A and B are shown apart, each in its own frame.
Chain A
Amino acid sequence: MATSERVRAAAADVLYPASALCVGIALWWTIVTFADVPSFVLPSPRAVAAQLLGNPTLYAHNAWDTLEKVVYGGVVGVLAGFLLAAFVAYVPWFRRAIYPSLVTVRVVPKLAIAPLLLIYLGTGTTTATVFVALVTFFPLVLSTAAGLDRAPAEHHDLLRSVNASTLERIAYVDVPYALPDVFAGLKQSVTLAVVGAVVAEWVVADDGLGFIILLGSENVRPEVMLAALVVLLLEGLALYGVVVLAQRGVLRWVGLEFE
């Protein structure tokens, strides 16, 4: 009884948004067909699908190029983020010096930095990677540093009372306490990484889905752009899914998964 109810609830969780999506696409189709919208303004879903399925290698190839930037930049940004967060959390003078700037710089729209990188690093994949790294880095630093602070003071006293080392304390108490925050930061980072890769491709690159979107815009081919957007959406969802799976795995392994 309880299981069948749970299955039904899960089915409803899928069914409702799926239906809404279908209705949305149907609406799009109807408007395009009956309101006679010219295809250079809004192509029909069918035209977008035809574009996508008619040029599979083009989209697959460029999706791969974008993915490369996201992964390389993301890894660099995440590692740098962890390192800086550790410094912020455990080196008091460093925290006092850097933390206010970190919080302030967060307000700067990072997208505005891309043209600046163009001057320093030129056009190329390095620039895109650095930009993606920069974009992923910020949410991760702040949430990880906050997470490493989350363990209650009594837990630290407890470990001190048996003369445990600082490293043991960090590994067995601080890091597990930080994990939920780390993953919250990673989820923000992965979303921003895709945005960052597309922006980087607009500014510096000559490949990737962002570049396809730019080309489509210049040639007034909205179906090319929309097809690229669909692939981008799927890529973003897949990357987000990877983080969610990693989160579930790690939290379950540590014992922090309660659902």
Chain B
Amino acid sequence: MIELDDVTVAFEDFTAIADVDLRVGGDEFVTVVGPSGCGKTTLLRTIAGLQEPTTGTVCIDGRPPDVAQANADVGFVFQQHTLLPWKSALENVVFLRTMADDPPERERARALLASMGLEGFEDARPQALSGGMKQRVAIARAIHLGADVLLMDEPFGELDEITRDELGVEIRALWRRERKTVVFVTHSVPEAVFLADRCVVMGGQPGRIQRTFEVDLPTPRDEEVFGSGAFQRQVAAVRRTLHETHGHE
């Protein structure tokens, strides 16, 4: 459970986000979509405790983010894979858990990598993996951490569209298996709609939540969804909201 109450983050010369109220339930998948510079990354970093809110409060399972950090309850996936180049895929997955002072569980990590289509690549170094594989390892690392909350900052931003769609399907399946609280930031509207139970549209300067959409699509979802009329209508509605708020600037 993530709770943000009236959160504003101001830097020296500009305000990134203002008056954000957001609740994300126990096993909910929420996407945040908005144009570049609308503060969506700042929002995610604030939830993770990487950025102090100027005013307002952030709670993860009723506790401040730094306590959640100490309990290894925050799994952050960055746009860059952030794998250590001198460690194998498996060692990278295990490494973060060790840093969180939890005992590594190599067999579970191995099984997790295998379940994400990385069987046979456990001992490969990041530079031997494709972009999509590297992000899979980064996601596996966050899950192996055992965090309740997964925060993903445009993790597929640098991948080609086909890999993106594939990983979208996988991450939904993974989420249904692992029952995590997910906040997923993206600037791709179709991605935001496809992944979400609830899609939050951000915009403006400073960034505010403009509107929230309940996404009414079947679960589980696969590539078929991309072609459905319901999906197209949702995407169109989100897009309209984005353009409206953008037009007002």
A-B contact list, 17 entries, CB within 8 Å: A152-B80, A157-B45, A157-B78, A158-B76, A158-B78, A160-B49, A161-B75, A162-B72, A162-B99, A163-B70, A163-B100, A164-B99, A164-B100, A168-B99, A172-B95, A176-B86, A258-B127
Query: Given the interface contacts A254-B86, A258-B127, does A172 sit within 8 Å of B80 by beta carbon?
Result: no
Interface residue? A173 (CB, 8 A)? yes
Q: Are the C-beta atoms of B96 and A255 separated by less than 8 Å? A: no
Interface residue? A259 (CB, 8 A)? no
Q: Interface digits, B38-82 against A, CB 8 Å rule (1 contact, 0 not)?
A: 000000010011100000000000000010011010111010101
Q: In angstroms, how far is the closest chain B Cβ from the Cβ of A31?
A: 51
| Cβ contacts under 8 Å, B87 to chain A | 255
| Cβ contacts under 8 Å, A155 to chain B | 82, 84
Docked Cα-Cα span, A69 to B86, in Å, equals: 36
Query: Given the interface contacts A168-B99, A255-B125, A258-B127, does A161 sit within 8 Å of B84 by beta carbon?
Result: no
Q: Count residues of A near B (Cβ-Cβ below 8 Å).
A: 19
Interface residue? B25 (CB, 8 A)? no
What number of A-B contacts does a CB cutoff of 8 Å give?
Answer: 56
Q: In angstroms, how far is the closest chain B Cβ from the Cβ of A259?
A: 13
Docked Cα-Cα span, A159 to B84, in Å, equals: 12
Docked Cα-Cα span, A168 to B96, in Å, equals: 11
Partner of B74, one of A152, A162, A255, A256: A162
Interface residue? B145 (CB, 8 A)? yes
Q: Are the C-beta atoms of B85 and A256 separated by less than 8 Å? A: yes
Docked Cα-Cα span, A256 to B88, in Å, equals: 11
Partner of B49, one of A154, A161, A172: A161
| Cβ contacts under 8 Å, A176 to chain B | 84, 86
Give the A-binding residues of B (Cβ under 8 A). 45, 48-50, 66, 69-70, 72, 74-76, 78, 80, 82, 84-88, 95-96, 99-100, 125, 127, 145
| Cβ contacts under 8 Å, B125 to chain A | 255, 258
**Which residue in chain A gives the minimum CB-CB distance to B51?**
A157
Query: Given the interface contacts A158-B96, A161-B74, A163-B70, does A173 sit within 8 Å of B84 by beta carbon?
Result: yes
Q: In angstroms, how far is the closest chain B Cβ from the Cβ of A165?
A: 9
Docked Cα-Cα span, A162 to B77, in Å, equals: 12
Query: Given the interface contacts A163-B69, A163-B70, does A157 sit within 8 Å of B50 by beta carbon?
Result: yes
Docked Cα-Cα span, A164 to B96, in Å, equals: 9
Q: Are the C-beta atoms of B84 and A162 separated by less than 8 Å? A: no
| Cβ contacts under 8 Å, B84 to chain A | 155, 172-173, 176
Docked Cα-Cα span, A155 to B95, in Å, equals: 12
Query: Given the interface contacts A168-B99, A255-B125, does A161 sit within 8 Å of B82 by beta carbon?
Result: no
Q: Are the C-beta atoms of B69 and A161 separated by less than 8 Å? A: yes
CB-CB contacts below 8 Å: A152-191 with B = 152, 154-155, 157-164, 168, 172-173, 176
* 5 other A-B residue contacts (CB within 8 Å) besides A161-B48, A162-B100: A157-B45, A161-B75, A162-B74, A163-B70, A258-B127
| Cβ contacts under 8 Å, B49 to chain A | 160-161
| Cβ contacts under 8 Å, A158 to chain B | 76, 78, 82, 96
Give the B-binding residues of A (Cβ under 8 A). 152, 154-155, 157-164, 168, 172-173, 176, 254-256, 258
Query: Given the interface contacts A152-B80, A154-B80, A162-B69, does A256 sit within 8 Å of B48 by beta carbon?
Result: no
| Cβ contacts under 8 Å, A161 to chain B | 48-50, 69, 74-76
| Cβ contacts under 8 Å, A160 to chain B | 49-50, 69
Docked Cα-Cα span, A164 to B125, in Å, equals: 23
Q: In angstroms, how far is the closest chain A Cβ from the Cβ of B229?
A: 39
| Cβ contacts under 8 Å, B76 to chain A | 157-158, 161
Q: In angstroms, how far is the closest chain B Cβ from the Cβ of A201?
A: 41
Docked Cα-Cα span, A158 to B153, in Å, equals: 12
Docked Cα-Cα span, A152 to B125, in Å, equals: 18
Docked Cα-Cα span, A163 to B45, in Å, equals: 14
Q: Are the C-beta atoms of A162 and B82 separated by less than 8 Å? A: no
| Cβ contacts under 8 Å, A172 to chain B | 84, 95, 99
Q: In angstroms, how far is the closest chain B Cβ from the Cβ of A159?
A: 6
| Cβ contacts under 8 Å, B145 to chain A | 162
| Cβ contacts under 8 Å, B48 to chain A | 161
Docked Cα-Cα span, A12 to B85, in Å, equals: 32
Partner of B66, one of A159, A163, A254, A256: A163
| Cβ contacts under 8 Å, A255 to chain B | 86-88, 125
Q: Are the C-beta atoms of A154 and B78 separated by less than 8 Å? A: yes
Q: In angstroms, how far is the closest chain B Cβ from the Cβ of A215?
A: 50
Q: In angstroms, how far is the closest chain B Cβ from the Cβ of A169?
A: 8
**Which residue in chain A gives the minimum CB-CB distance to B50?**
A157
